Amino acid sequence: MPGGIDPTISLRLHPEPPTPEELENMKDIDPTEAGIFLHKLYTITSEGNEILIKLGASTGCRWGDTAAAIYTASGDSSVCAAGLYFHSVLGSTDVKYIMKHWFNEPSVGVKPGDAFFANTPFYRGTHPPDMAIYSPVFFKGKLVCWIGAIVHSGECGACEPGGMPSGSRSMYDEGIQIPPMKIAENYVLKEDIVNYMNHVTRDPRAMTLDIKARMACLRVVEKRLMPVIEKVSPEYVIGALRYIIQATGDAVRKRIGGWNDGTFSSSQFVDAVGILPRLMKASCTLEKKDEHLYFNFDGTSPEVLDRVANSPGVGVIGVNAVYLLGHLFHDIPHNSGVFEPMSFKMPVGSMANASRESPKAGCAYVHEACSLVVQNILNQLIYATNPDRVECPGNRGFDTTSYGGINQYGDPFADAGAEMNGIGFGARSNRDGVNVAGAYFAPMTSEPGEIESLESGLPFLYLYRGFHKDSCGHGMYRGGVGMDYAIQIHDSSVISIGSWGFGSLITNSEGLFGGYGVPALPYISIHDNNLKEMQQNSDDKIPGSARELYESGAIKGEYRWRGYPAVADPAKEGDLIAGGTGGGGAYGDPLNRDSLAIMKDIEEGVISHWVARNVYKIVYDEKALEVDEEKTRKLRDKERADRKKRGQKYPDFEKGWLKKKPSEEVLEFYGDWPIKKYETFDYFGPWPGVKKIHKGEPVGAGT
């Protein structure tokens, strides 16, 4: 049967072996000319990406959760302009599905002017709102390459609005999940398919505009490519696209070779399974050998078949491109070649390599936890040779709002909030982290939006938004703080609102070398409250921050602790939600922080007096913000001495620690305590001692 469910496609994230034609066309490529040519292609994809941002309607589209890419004819990503670096690599599996199943299928085929829509997590590894359209580029009847346009559309018809339901119980609760399907022929969009998508999602306006933004991007990219192909020849383009991927792999391999060999490991926890407060673990061991990295995710918690706590393996791997391309290999072209010197051993049936039908709407939580593990491991690996590149993690909770209903204009709407784009980044060995820096996964493009613009398009009033005081890790160099916010429902007759993310019960970003991790994050709602009355009376007790809201009690009403995540429940006029994003981890002992830097933090609203006194241990005048250096020195010396008294010898600590265990309820989905071990694995990339079925397709489950 043509098409069909194909579990081998996602295993082909790594670059395909060069075809004989590509090898022939690469022979005479000059590296300098190839660099100039790469820049030309990048300017073309950058223009395409800008078109997506300007024309799309979803929140994610407007702030740059987008990508425009050029792929080889066999589907490998070669050139990409992306707001989210993982889009630089993950679109390739969709194209490989098309080439395998539709290229030679008479009832479908691949012709000039065609376009294929795709958004299934099973192949590209991310949640259903990440929707893409791909088009082939032909020159005189010859397939030269593919181009793609990817946008996070905020609504996909799931059981809750906003695209990422916290309460879904299977993939069938999570909206449209379409394998590559032809959406245009002969440069004409199939309106019946667009009409279908509009009928099964809550925000048809945004869906239509995002689709047409993708199509506009593809048409412009193709228009720019055609004269380039004609000028240099299709053979040169075919060879150059493969050459760029191989050059990327070679550059990454060379850099890896400069690091010390060794074995490193780390674990990270998630405090939510769907909406249940349960503990899950991401675990990874890295072996660095010569010029290759081997990542083994054995020990990770099992998948949960009927709760939001799972990701396809390809997504866990691909999302690590954010850290790799944004930090360790920031100066190397962004494409599939980055993974060539890396291999991944993913346990079958784990939350990091889950089966097709388990819920994937919350795959971002797994991605964030696994990317934290990988960053922690790579920090260990590079410290000896590149200490300046060691960075504490920024907040990875993916915490934001989700909502849907009828807006102030009487139109249906549904989306996810941009609050997740206000996290604090981690500290480094010589500087503080950046406050409200953006989203970890899109550091260069993401931003939470202007309040006036948000209020004009949504039935919301922002009560306040600013620095989320004390949300950072504290240390000699502190992490950046996240964003504090409260949103009041205004002028909506029907609305539901909830939250995404995790980290309301445990820290999700640690510090380094004595630096503190970030605190847990609150998210509450206040119903049947007196806020409107306070606003009508211009009451000066209206809180301007979360701390004022919690401590003053000025807003009366029914307070509900909800946390991240929370199901999107019905709300009504005047209801208030209040939350905040987290900060970054800290570097070094807080007792070594400069006292004047602490005073500046207080002045700027980054930390509280409580933290200054109890964490940083400084003595100062709270009104004048003047430090008594001598008393501070004595207080800190006393704290250092007290630490020694409180401390334990490591064997004694370990003996007591190993006796501790969370409750059985908390460990309901955790797997074997303390470590879950697997017998079967999927392999992405070559692995010592593991044979391949045939060229380009690694062994799957059961190896």
Query: Which residues does 652 contact at the CB level (< 8 Å), separation at least 6?
Result: none
What stretches of 273-424 show up as alpha helix (H) in DSSP? Answer: 313-319, 321-323, 363-382
Q: What is the DSSP string of 290-308?
A: TTEEEEE-TTPPBP-TTSS
Look at residue 526 in the predicted model and tell me its pLDDT.
Answer: 97
What is d(CA 537, CA 382) in angstroms, rounded to the nearest whole number? Answer: 58
Pair of tokens at residue 522: 């609150």
Joined together, the tokens standing for residue 204 give: 């048809």
Tokens for 52, please give them.
């997506």
Count of CA atoms in the C-beta half-sphere (13 A) of 672: 7
Question: How far apart are alpha carbons 692 and 670 in whole angstroms?
Answer: 32
CA neighbor of 338 nearest in space, from 353, 352, 363, 320: 320
Question: Which residue in the block uniquely carries the two structure tokens 């380094």?
Answer: 512
Question: CA-CA distance, 99 to 93, in Å (whole number)?
Answer: 10
Neighbour tally for 557: CB within 10 Å: 15
Question: How far apart are the C-alpha atoms of 348 and 25, rounded to whole Å?
Answer: 39
Q: What is the Cα–Cα distance from 646 to 66, expressed in whole angstroms?
A: 51
Contact 156, 211 (CB under 8 A): no
Helices (H), 419-545: 451-457, 531-536
Instruction: Count the Cβ atoms, other than its own, within 10 Å of residue 121.
Output: 25
The three-point CA angle 135-141-145 to 5° equals 40
Kind and range of the H or E run holding 610: helix 609-614
Q: Which amino acid is at 60?
A: G
Give the CA distances from residue 292 to residues 265, 344, 346, 526, in Å, rounded to whole numbers and listed in that order.
Answer: 16, 11, 17, 53
Q: What is the pLDDT of residue 699?
A: 43
Cα distances (angstroms) measured from residue 185 to each of 131, 144, 211: 19, 18, 15
pTM above 0.85, yes or no: yes
CA-angle at 366, arms to 382 and 318, nearest 5° = 60
Grouping H, G, I as helix, E, B as strand and the rest as coil, residue 13 is: coil
CB 45 within 8 Å of CB 80 = yes
Q: How far apart are CA 510 and CA 19, in angstroms?
A: 45
Alpha-carbon gap, residue 316 to 372, rounded angstroms: 11
What confidence score (pLDDT) does residue 447 get? 84
Q: Is 545 in contact with 484 (CB distance < 8 Å)? A: yes
Query: What local confidence, expressed as pLDDT, does residue 692 receive?
Result: 64
Q: Buried b / exposed e across 454-476, counting CB within 10 Å, b at 16+?
A: bbebbbbbebbbbbbbbbbbbbb
Nearest-5° Cα angle at 660, 657 to 663: 160
DSSP one-letter string for 131-188: EEEEEEEEETTEEEEEEEEEEE-S----SSTTS--TT--SGGGS-----SEEEEETTE
Q: Are 423 and 584 in contact (CB under 8 A)?
A: yes
CA 180 to chain centre: 23
Q: What count of Cα atoms within 13 Å lies in the side-chain half-sphere of residue 294?
A: 15
538: Cα separation from own chain's centroid: 40
CA angle, 410 as apex, 58 and 490 as ends, to 5°?
80
Please state, in angstroms and rounded to a whole number, the distance separating the CA atoms of residues 683 and 681. Answer: 6
| Measured distance CA(209)–CA(341) in Å, rounded | 39
Low-confidence ranges of the chain (pLDDT < 50): 693-703
